[in-house]
Amino acid sequence: MVGTAPATRRTAQKEAVWQALESSPGFVSAQDLHQQLVAAGASVGLATVYRQLAALAAEGRADTIPDAGGLLYRVCAPGGHHHHLVCESCGRAVEIQPPLEDWIRQTAQDSGYTITRHVLEVFGTCPQCAAR
């Protein structure tokens, strides 16, 4: 055990999980994602979804927030960090730019904490759905 090779294979399931996660507007549970994949005709096991999601989160490519009775996952934009305002009725989302960055730096100094990450989700009803 002197030279340890990277060893990370590229498989269809891996891609499928990643894409399914990417195409989801907000946060999704592992189980939802699994059902979504199966419904889409992909052959993926539930355990694999969990494993991939965990790996993705460990790599920092995915964000996870714990939710009552389960964890929720979401893609984490590489380099750029942005949030969305999601319509609870139709799912349509607009990109938003909350003034958090400055405030976070400020808060970090005030509290002495080293802030590593944050999650912001804003939910509401879009004009079209509100009009109906």
Angle at 104 between CA 84 and CA 119, to 5 degrees: 35
User: Footprint of a second copy on residues 43-82 (CB under 8 A)?
Assistant: 65-69, 71
Q: Which does 120 bind (CB under 5 to 8 A by kind): a second copy, DNA, none?
A: a second copy
Q: Is 88 a binder of a second copy (CB under 8 A)?
A: yes
Which one of a second copy, DNA, none is in contact with 112 (Cβ closer than 5 to 8 A by kind)? a second copy
Please say whether the beta carbons of 72 and 57 come within 8 A: no
- Which range binds a second copy by CB under 8 A, 14-22, 28-36, 73-81, 113-121? 113-121
Name residues whose C-beta falls within 8 Å of residue 110's C-beta, 6 or more positions apart in sequence. Answer: none
Interface with a second copy, residue 132, by CB under 8 A: no
Count other C-beta atoms under 10 Å from residue 86's C-beta: 20
Minimum Å distance from CB 54 to DNA?
5
Length, in residues, of the chain: 132
